[in-house]
Structure 1
Amino acid sequence: MSQAATLPTKRDEDWRYADGDYLAASDPVSLTHWRTLKVPAGETRSEFQTHLSGDACKGSVDRLRVHVGAGGRFEAFHTIAGGKYQRVEVEVTLEEGAHFEFGGVTLGGGDKVQEFVTCTKHSHPNATSNQVVRAVQWGKATGNFLGRIEVARDAQKTNAAQNFRAILLEKGASANTKPELEIFADDVLCAHGAAIGQLDEQASYYMAARGIPPMVAKKLLIQAFIGDAFEAITDDAVRERMLEGALHELDQGVV
């Protein structure tokens, strides 16, 4: 089989919003490699990462496959602030009573393409999952979230949610989302929501009327917006570090 045949392309549904030039020039091994993690029953594992590849980097793909044992918990919080193309993909399989918590933020300008791709497999009863993704884009940058939730026939009492919101700071920026729910059980609670728009003009006016300078008001509104993705971090110091890191990268951009 030729190298070209093994490479994903934008015709593949899971790569539809990716950088086509990067895919065509990539080593197939780098695109098909998965990190793996097993969370023992009743235990918790966490990941906190900020992806900061410089402008000279043509792209990077990080793929993680996780199996969470019964009553276990896996939580992952990521910020993508680099470019030109960056993709973080997480596939999680949940046993009975397990939980998956995900928070993601994309921050980018220029012509960057930044995306989160998740697949959550509810294979057993009473498992839960929650995903919150926020995108802040400017210039001609694109922020993407493709989130798939699969609920097996025997996975009764599943409770799964995912939410994506994007703020486009300039007219040339864009965002894409593709939520998917595949449900074969009948006693489940699954929900998804998405919204793409600009900063809240009413909130900006309210803050300006109280003497808050426009740039300060803008930063405060964005801080509250991206803070949603990190709200589930229980360690206050870690949560503040993730938020401050994201705001620092934003400061280097447009705020």
Structure 2
Amino acid sequence: MTLAVRPTTRDEDWRYADAGELAALEPAVLDAWHDTTLAPGEVRGKDLILDDAHPGIHRVRLHVGAGARAELFAVLSASAYTRLEVEVTLAEGAHFELGGVTIGGGNVVREIVTRVNHAHPNATSNQVVRAVHWDAATGNFLGRLMVARDAQKTDAAQSFKALLLTRGASANAKPELEIFADDVKCAHGAAIGQLDQAAAYYMAARGLPPELARKLLVQAFVADAFVARAESDALLDAALGALAASGGDAR
């Protein structure tokens, strides 16, 4: 017997989700958390490529021990509704690093939702999310940072940027900060725009075909999410593969 309740877009954490997909959702899916605990001082990283072989809702819960470091890098490019939801609790001196990209076309919602709990002092977190969409697709980022009263010396940051390649595509950002400590450094930023036409013109003037110029500009844009990943070729290939699969539709 499941305790989960089917969400709707009236729920804040699901406000930008695909309403049709939620209506058809089996509530038991929401009980399927992937729980991971990092021991004190442990360093662990994970790459997720959520393509057409892995659509749907993916829920990850991380408990990061004292002085440990957890890294999660993800590409969401499936041609059906896809949601990566991450809950993180940080012990003293722990670090959480997230690099995420939602990319694709069609009439599809792809979203990353995070809740990072700075429960103890001296913990740090950094979240970088990039969205690239075209047609009537939507890319979302909902990120909540929670800093407990005793979690002094917290250093937390969120960055979300979206690139809309065609009219009709959209993006939504919902950053939240809940801070109860007074000696902290917390920042967030969000920006949504179109391809830099000046840069595209500059590249075309030097003989680069428009398709190659577009690919290079998108590659530079999404690469921001993987700066902390030493070897990010597979992640970049997954993201750019979604762009290449669109043919000429993502102009």
Q: TM-score, normalising length from structure 1?
A: 0.93
Pair 1:213 & 2:209 matched: yes
Question: What do you get for the CA RMSD once the two structures are aligned?
Answer: 1.7
The Cα shift of 1:209 comes to: 1.9
Task: For residues 142-173 of structure 1, give each alpha carbon's deviation from its aligned partner in whole angstroms, at most 9, with x where no partner exists.
Answer: 00000000000100000000100001011010
Q: Which residue of 1 aligns with 2:244?
A: 251
Aligned partner letter, 1:42:
G
Deviation at 1:53, TM superposition (A): 2.3
Offset at 1:108? 1.3
Find the counterpart in structure 1 of residue 105 from structure 2. 109
| In structure 2, distance between residues paired with 1:161 and 1:124 | 16
Q: Sort the Cα spacing of 1:143 and 1:93 in 2 relative to 1 into closer, same or farther, 3 A.
A: same
Q: Is the 8 A contact 2:79 2:106 kept in 1?
A: no
Say whether 1:120 aligns with 2:113: no
Q: Does the C-alpha gap of structure 1 residues 254 and 126 become closer, same or farther in structure 2, counting only changes over 3 Å? A: farther
Separation of aligned partners in 2, 1:41 and 1:2: 32
CA–CA separation in structure 1 for the residues paired with 2:176 and 2:97: 17
Helix, strand or coil for the counterpart of 1:6? coil
Structure 2 distance, partners of 1:74, 1:11, is: 32
In structure 1, the gaps of 5 or more residues are none
- 1:162-201 to 2 correspondence within 5 Å? 162-201=158-197
Q: Which runs of 5+ in 2 are unaligned?
A: none
Give the match for residue 29 of structure 1. 28
Partner of 1:11: 10
Q: Deviations over 1:84-130 (max 9, x none)?
A: 21000000000000000000001111101000000000000110000
- Which position in structure 2 is the counterpart of 1:228? 224
What's 1:68 paired with? 64
The aligned length equals: 248
Instruction: Give the % identical residues.
Output: 59
Once the 2 structures are TM-superposed, how far is the Cα of residue 254 of structure 1 from its aligned partner? 4.1
Which residue is 1:46 aligned to? 45
| Structure 1 position 12, deviation (Å) | 0.4
1-structure distance, mates of 2:189, 2:2: 40
Aligned equivalents of 1:240, 1:26: Cα separation in 2: 34
Letter in 2 for 1:229: A
Contact 2:2–2:28 under 8 Å retained in 1 = no
| Gap change, CA 1:26 and 1:230, over 3 Å in 2 | same
SS in 1 for 2:167: coil
Query: How many Å apart are 1:2 and its aligned residue?
Result: 11
* Residues 90/2 of structure 1: CA separation in 2 closer, same or farther (3 Å cut): closer
CA distance in 2, matches of 1:133, 1:254: 24
CA distance in 2, matches of 1:48, 1:69: 20
Query: In structure 2, do the counterparts of structure 1 residues 105 and 254 end up closer, same or farther at CA, with 3 Å as the change threshold?
Result: farther
2:85 partner SS: strand
* 1:34-77 Cα deviation digits (max 9, x unpaired): 110000000011110101126xx9x5100011100000011000
* Residue 153 (structure 2) aligns with: 157
Deviation at 1:32, TM superposition (A): 3.2
**2: distance between equivalents of 1:230 and 1:154?**
31
- Counterpart in the other structure of 1:240: 233
Separation (CA, whole Å) in 2 of partners of 1:32 and 1:108: 27
- Structure 2 residue aligned with 1:139, among 127, 135, 139? 135
Could you give the per-residue CA deviations for residues 159-191 of structure 1, whole angstroms, max 9, x where no partner exists?
000100001011010000000000001110100
Q: Given the alignment, which residue of 199, 204, 209 partners 2:200?
A: 204
What is the alpha-carbon distance in structure 2 between the residues aligned to residue 23 and residue 102 of structure 1? 26
1:33 Cα deviation after fit: 2.3
